[in-house]
Amino acid sequence: MSTSFDKAWSKLQQPLHLLLGVGLAAGLAIATGPSPAQGVVAEADEAADSNFLWQIETPTNTVYLLGSVHFLNEDSYPLPAALETAFQEAENLVLEADVGPGTEADIAVLLLDKALPEPGEALTEVLSSESYALAAQQTEDLGLSIQMFEQFEPWFLAISLTSLQLIALGFSPEYGIDQYFYSQAQASEKPILFLETVEQQFDLFEQLSIEEQRLFTEQTLAEMDLFEDSFNDIVGAWETGDSDRMADILLTGFEAYPEMQRIFLSDRNRDWANQILPWLESDEDYLIVVGTLHLVGPDSVLELLAAEGYEAEQL
């Protein structure tokens, strides 16, 4: 690789291992634009007694399910006491995948392989000339060059731009909820389990048609100016435990992408619920931390567990 590519690539190293989670959720939130229900945020502030945390109590144990925002800032801490208590009481921490410190290099190699296009699927061959020009301007605004993305599939550009824009706005993976509890678990030698591998996460993109990638990427590019308001809305809904608002923000974006909803949400939620069921019969407590997107709306992990007789209480 060229020296210019290496320099640009190094800028992506910090957020690289969280590109999937935040890129998909935030990217779709951008694509929807701000919700027309502008009064909802004020209403949520009046009912800010809940957290994005649920518990399921069984005769033998307690399982907590916490929605994570992967990028936050220092102002988000200290966390609410209920979240810290859930961590202290749980004998086991469960995360989506192993994205802890020290995994960046391996994930970078894996991502470079997964994002390489088949013939005819490179960025320059897929985007319209207008969208390519817009992408060039937006990457330049973020201190990068569009050339570093030309040799990859379009989805890599979309999730990279959303993640880098978050950093430009002052948010960091260092303050993400999953990263925080990962570090806490390591420090206290608490066992950490994972629902899937990072390779499985990147393999999800291989299930997308090139047309789905194009539409998703071009819409993300077209509405990047709405990013700050959309993400602040996500954080606000998380801080107030407003799951209805979170569903409005994030799930609306999937209406135009039903196949993406199946791939990234529905199928994974079912797989995760099946993994969680045996833990509900354990004599140890668990704190399960997954993206907020997986705990809202129909077919969420919470809904699937409720269908099996395990009702969750929001804390």
More confident residue, 285 or 144: 285
Phi then psi for 54, rounded to 5 degrees?
-125, 155
**41 pLDDT more than 50:** no
Lowest mean pLDDT among 44-53, 191-200, 254-263: 44-53
Give the end-to-end CA distance of the chain in Å, rounded to a whole number. 50
User: What tens digit of pLDDT does each residue of 218-260 get?
Assistant: 888 888 888 888 889 999 999 999 999 999 988 887 877 888 8
Please report, for residues 25, 207, 216, 230, the alpha-carbon distance to residue 36 in angstroms, rounded to integers and kept in the order given: 19, 32, 21, 12
Phi then psi for 287, rounded to 5 degrees?
-110, 115
pLDDT score of 24: 53
Q: Across residues 271-287, what is the average pLDDT?
A: 98
Mean pLDDT of the chain: 84
Closest-CA residue to 65 (of 311, 307, 308, 290): 290
The 10 Å CB-count burial string (b at 16+, else e) for 208-228 is bebebbbbbbbbbbebbeebe
Closest-CA residue to 169 (of 7, 22, 17, 10): 22
- State pTM to two decimals: 0.88
One-letter amino acid of 257: Y
Between CA 199 and CA 183 the distance in angstroms is 22
Q: Across residues 284-301, what is the average pLDDT?
A: 95
| Domain map (residue ranges) of the chain | 3-314
Token pair recorded at residue 137: 């301007």
pLDDT score of 245: 93
Contact criterion met (CB below 8 Å) for 45 and 36: no
Please, which pLDDT band fits residue 42 given cuts at 50, 70 and 90? very low
Contact criterion met (CB below 8 Å) for 188 and 90: no
Between CA 80 and CA 83 the distance in angstroms is 6
Between CA 178 and CA 80 the distance in angstroms is 15
DSSP-derived secondary structure for 198-244: HHHHHHHHHTS-HHHHHHHHHHHHHTGGGHHHHHHHHHHHHHTT-HH
Closest-CA residue to 138 (of 173, 163, 104): 163
pLDDT score of 225: 81
pLDDT score of 12: 55
**2 pLDDT more than 90:** no
pLDDT score of 11: 52
Residue 258 DSSP symbol: H
Find where tokens 């993300």 sit. Answer: 220
**301 pLDDT more than 80:** yes
**37 pLDDT more than 50:** no
Q: Across residues 297-314, what is the average pLDDT?
A: 96
User: What tens digit of pLDDT does each residue of 100-138 get?
Assistant: 666 767 777 787 788 888 888 889 899 999 999 999 999
Q: Is the preceding peptide bond at 78 cis, omega within 30 degrees of 0?
A: yes
Q: Across residues 143-154, what is the average pLDDT?
A: 89
| Residue ranges with strand state E in the chain | 53-57, 62-68, 92-95, 192-194, 286-291, 313-314
